[in-house]
Structure 1
Amino acid sequence: MIVPEGWEFKKLGSVAELQRGFDLPSSKRVDGSIPIISSGGLTGFHNEFKAKAPGVVTGRYGSIGDVFYIKEDFWPLNTALWVKDFHSNDPEFIYYMLSNFDFKKFSDKTGVPGVNRNDLHIVKVGVPPYSEQRKIAQILSTWDKAIATTEKLIAASQQQKKALMQQLLTGKKRFAGFSEEWEEVELGKLLDYKQPTPYLVKSKDYSDEYATPVLTAGKTFILGYTNETVGIYQDDLPAIIFDDFTTASKFVDFPFKAKSSAMKILTAKKGFSIKYIFEAMQMLDYNVGGHQRHWISIFSNIIIQIPSLPEQQKIAAVLTAADQEIDALQSKLAHFQQEKKALMQQLLTGKRRVVLDSEQ
C-alpha cells in the first residue's frame, strides 16, 4: 500500500471513535429544538442533547451507509453510530471520509442489515495532516453548497410548474386570443392505446453502452439500456406509457423498449395534443383501489377539460418550456454530484493533493 507523503495509515478507531446512540422511545420525547438523529437522518426533536456539535452520525442497523454531518448539539438514536472522539482530527473531514467508506461490506449477514463498530474500528484508513484535512473539507463543502443550491432551484422550478398547471389546465388563466368554451371529454375519446407485447424487452442484460432505453411507467422510468434492435417502439411519438395497475404515467418522446406487459402505450387521436393530455392526467385525483387493470374499465372513462387544439398546443408549449428548465437544472445537479464523487475519490486517497494556504 502506497502511503502519500505526509499521510499516515491508522485504525479507524484511533481516528474517529464510534459509539452507539441512545434509546429514546417516542413516549419519552419532549418537544424541543434538539435534533434526534437516527440511521436515516433527522427523525424528530427533543429538549435534551446527548452529543455536542459538530457531529458525525451513520447507521448502526436498518439503514446502512448514509452519513450525516450535524452542526448543532443533538441526540443520536440507538439505531445509529456517532463519532464520540475525533482524536484531534477535523470533524468535517471525518464526515467526508466516512461518506466514502464502504459500510455495507461490514454489514452483518442477518435479515436486518447492521454493522458492528468494533469491526469498523480496526479498518486502516488514510489520514493526512490536519491542515490538509481542513482544506479537503473546505473544497468538498463548496461542492455540497453548489449541489444544495441546485436542489433548491429544482424544487422551486417544480413548484412554479405545478402552479402553472393549476392555472392553465383549469382555464383559470387564459392566453390572449382564446375565448372558446372548453369541452369535457373522456380520456378514451382522446387517446388510442396499444398493448406493449411487440415491444417487450427479452433480455435483462442492460448496459449504459447500449442504445435503446428500457422503460417503466414507475418512478425509475429508465431501467437500463438494451442492444436489442427488433421490436423498438418508435412509430407514433411522442406517447404516454401508462401502468395499468398503478396508473402511473410518463411522457416519452424517444424510441424505447417496454419492460412490463402491464403497460399501455397511449397516443393522441387526431386533433388533440398528447402533451396537453399527459399534463391534464397528472392533475387527476385518482385513488387506486385493489390489484386490477384500470385503463379500459375505469381510467379511459375519466373526464377532463379540453380547449381547442391551438390552445392545447399553447398550454403544452409553456409547460414544455418549464420541463426544459427543470431538466437543465437536473442535468447540472447530476454533473455536480458526479464531479464531487470523482473529487472525493482523489482527495480522500491522496491521489490528488491540495495546495495549502501556507504554500501559495
Structure 2
Amino acid sequence: MVPNGWERKPLVDIAEIRTGVAKGKKGLKDPIEVPYLRVANVQDGHIDLTEVKTIAIERHQLARYSLRAGDVLMTEGGDFDKLGRGDVWHGQIQPCLNQNHVFAVRVDSKILEPYYLAALSGSHYGKTYFLSCAKRSTNLASINSTQLKEFPVLIPPLPEQRKVAKILYTWDKAISTTERLIDNSKQQKKALMQQLLTGKKSLLDESGKPFEGEWEEVKLKSIAEMNSGGTPKSSIPEYYGGDIPWVSIADMTKHGKSISKTEKYLTQEGLNNSSARFYPKGTILYAMYASIGECSIAEVELSSSQAILGIRPTDKLSNDYLYYFLTNLKSKITLMGQQGTQSNLNAGMVKDFRINLPPKTEQLKIASVLTNADKEIDLLKKQLADLKKEKKALMQQLLTGKRRVKVDDKEVA
C-alpha cells in the first residue's frame, strides 16, 4: 500500500540507467586512460576512493561514459549484501567512469532526490526487491539493468524526500565519525604497542617511579611450553558433539582476543583418539597455518586443531604480555611464513622467537595499558553497531512512509 500523497513508479520512468565500461577490450582507436570505479569502490552508503584504477577507452566515448555529480551508483551484485549497495557520486574525480558491474542512475531531479534513491535502494525495502528477482548461486546474487529499471520506487513529495535524506545523512555522518574514531584508536594502539613492547616508552609503577630491573632478550621456548593440537576424524560422529570446546582458526578470527565458545565441540572419545589435547585456561592460541600470527587467549579449558599452537607461559611470563607481544609481531611473522600452497609456520620456528622481556611487574602494567586501549576500541565498536542498527530501523520506517516527517513551508519553498 502506497502512503497518502506518495507514488510508486518503476525506476526507468524517473531516471536513466547507465551501464558502465567493460574491461579487456582490444583494438581501441585513439585510446585514453581514465579513472573508473569498481564494485570495491562502491560501498554501502559511501564511495571508497582509497584505490582508484584506470581503464582504457576510445576518446570519443568519454562523454558517453563519464559520471556526473548526482549520479546514484549501484552494484549489480556479488555477495548478497552487495545487491542495491551504493551512494551518490559527488564528482570527486573528473573525468571518472563506472565499470560494467556498477550501474549509474541519473535521476530526474524534478521528481527524485538522489540521496533518497540511494537510501531506498540500500534499505530493507530495496534489498527485498533485488533479492526477489536476482539471479542466485551459492552465496552470490546479481541483477541486470532490466531488473533495476523495474525497481518500484516509492516517491514522496520532493520536500519530504529531502527531509528524509537530510535525517539519514545526519546518521551517516555520526557513523562515519565513529568509524574514523575506531581507525584512529587502532593506529594509536598500534603505535603504543610498538613503543611499550620494545622499551622505547617506559611506564611508571604504582608509586610513580620507574620500574626496577633490566629487560632481557630470550627465546620463547625458554619461558613457555608449546604443543600443537589435533583433529579427530570427521567421519566418526561419536568424536563430535560433546562438551569439550575445539578451537579452529575460524573461531580465532571470529572471536579475537578471548575465546570461551567454539563452533565445534569434541567428546572425550574424540579427544582420546586424536592428537588433540586439553589446554588450560590462559593458554595462548597461536595460528600457524592460513591466518598465521593470529592470536587468542583461552578463557576456558579447551582443545584445538593442529593448525594452532598452544603456548603456556611459565611464571616468568605474563599471558597477556605474551599475547600483545605476538600480536605486535604479526606483520613480520607473515613474511617469515614458509611458502607453499599457503603460508605457514611450524612449532620449531615459534619456539625460537626472541622476545623482549621486562620484569614481571612491568609486563603486567604494559598489558594493562594495552587492555584498556582494547576496551576503548570495543566500546566504540559497540557504539558503531548500535548506530547502524538504529539507522536501519529508522530507514525502514521513513522510506516506507510508516513514519512521516514534518516539512515546514520554508523547506517546501
- TM-score, normalised on structure 1? 0.81
Q: Give the corresponding residue for 1:272.
A: 317
* Corresponding residue to 1:173 among 186, 198, 201: 201
The gaps in structure 2 that reach 5 residues or longer are 26-30, 42-48, 205-209, 269-276
Deviation at 1:309, TM superposition (A): 0.3
Q: Give the corresponding residue for 2:108.
A: 86
Counterpart of 2:166 in 1: which secondary structure? helix
2:358 corresponds to 1:307: yes
Deviation at 1:324, TM superposition (A): 1.0
* 1:1-360 aligned within 5 A: 2-23=1-22, 28-29=32-33, 36-41=36-41, 42=49, 43-44=51-52, 50-60=66-76, 64-65=82-83, 66-72=85-91, 74-86=96-108, 88-100=111-123, 101-102=126-127, 103-109=130-136, 114-176=142-204, 177-193=210-226, 196=229, 202=240, 216=250, 219-221=253-255, 236-246=280-290, 247-252=292-297, 254-255=299-300, 260-284=305-329, 285-286=332-333, 287=335, 288-289=337-338, 290=340, 291=342, 294-358=345-409
* AA aligned opposite 1:68: D
Deviation at 1:225, TM superposition (A): 6.8
Write the distance in 2 (CA, Å) between the matches of 1:164 and 1:144. 30
Write the distance in 2 (CA, Å) between the matches of 1:115 and 1:95. 16
Deviation at 1:85, TM superposition (A): 2.9
Counterpart of 1:297 in 2: which secondary structure? helix
Write the distance in 1 (CA, Å) between the matches of 2:88 and 2:301. 41
Alpha-carbon spacing, 1:227–1:262, altered in 2? closer, same or farther (3 Å) = closer
Alpha-carbon spacing, 1:62–1:198, altered in 2? closer, same or farther (3 Å) = closer
Give 1 or 2: higher helix fraction. Answer: 2
CA contact (8 A) 1:3 1:9 kept: yes
Deviation at 1:194, TM superposition (A): 5.3
Per-residue CA distance 1:75-112 (angstroms, 9 max, x = gap): 22333110123352001101101112224544435798
RMSD: 3.7
CA contact (8 A) 2:70 2:89 kept: yes
CA contact (8 A) 1:213 1:256 kept: no
Write the distance in 2 (CA, Å) between the matches of 1:118 and 1:257. 53
Write the distance in 1 (CA, Å) between the matches of 2:119 and 2:301. 39
* AA aligned opposite 1:221: H
Query: How many pairs were matched up?
Result: 347
Deviation at 1:292, TM superposition (A): 7.5
Write the distance in 1 (CA, Å) between the matches of 2:355 and 2:288. 19
- TM-score, normalised on structure 2? 0.72
Alpha-carbon spacing, 1:225–1:335, altered in 2? closer, same or farther (3 Å) = farther
Write the distance in 2 (CA, Å) between the matches of 1:202 and 1:16. 56
Counterpart of 2:112 in 1: which secondary structure? coil
CA contact (8 A) 1:214 1:256 kept: no
* AA aligned opposite 1:333: L
Alpha-carbon spacing, 1:312–1:318, altered in 2? closer, same or farther (3 Å) = same
CA contact (8 A) 1:217 1:243 kept: no
The gaps in structure 1 that reach 5 residues or longer are 204-211
CA contact (8 A) 2:18 2:103 kept: yes
Q: Percent identity?
A: 32
Write the distance in 2 (CA, Å) between the matches of 1:192 and 1:139. 57
Write the distance in 2 (CA, Å) between the matches of 1:334 and 1:10. 33
Counterpart of 1:17 in 2: which secondary structure? strand
CA contact (8 A) 1:62 1:114 kept: yes
Q: Give the corresponding residue for 2:273.
A: none
Write the distance in 2 (CA, Å) between the matches of 1:318 and 1:301. 27
CA contact (8 A) 2:246 2:264 kept: no
Deviation at 1:256, TM superposition (A): 8.1
Q: Which moved more, 1:330-339 or 1:55-64?
A: 55-64
CA contact (8 A) 2:3 2:401 kept: yes
Deviation at 1:327, TM superposition (A): 0.9
Alpha-carbon spacing, 1:196–1:45, altered in 2? closer, same or farther (3 Å) = closer
